[in-house]
A = this chain, B = another copy of it.
Amino acid sequence: MSLRTLLTVPAAVKRGEPFEVRLLAQHPMETGYRRGSDGALLPRDLLRRVEARFEGELVFSAELHAAVAANPYIAFWLRVPAGGVLTVDWQGDRGLAHRESRRIDAA
């Protein structure tokens, strides 16, 4: 399963200063309640969970449900004591798993 995602963070931050992390995934978030053009229910297909790790340590995670809009967008703020790699893992129905990483320098 493939997923197009966008992980937006500053390339460089100041140690200990907050910066915004923006996560975006191109995904229909099909609820399982809608009918297709043939009248049959479209099977549920949701992104279920997203986890963000900085240098391997879990820093933020979220569980998504059917009411989350298509192409999920989530934003939050982090602060880090030193530079490192932020890794974001998306998990969804049908065995979907997708990882994206970004290096963040801290001065």
Which residues of A approach B to under 8 Å, CB–CB? 18-19, 54, 57-70, 72-80
> Which of B54, B62, B76 lies in contact with A61, CB distance below 8 A?
B62
Protomer copies: 2
Min C-beta distance of A16 to chain B, whole Å:
9
CA distance in complex: A18, B64 (Å)? 14
Known: A18-B69, A61-B62. 13 other contacts (CB 8 A): A18-B70, A57-B67, A58-B63, A58-B65, A59-B68, A67-B78, A67-B80, A68-B79, A69-B79, A73-B76, A73-B77, A74-B74, A74-B76
Min C-beta distance of A79 to chain B, whole Å:
5
Give the secondary structure class of A's interface.
Answer: strand
Chain B residues in 8 Å Cβ range of A68: 59-60, 76-79
Min C-beta distance of A106 to chain B, whole Å:
12
Min C-beta distance of A75 to chain B, whole Å:
4
Residue of B nearest to A55 (CB): B67
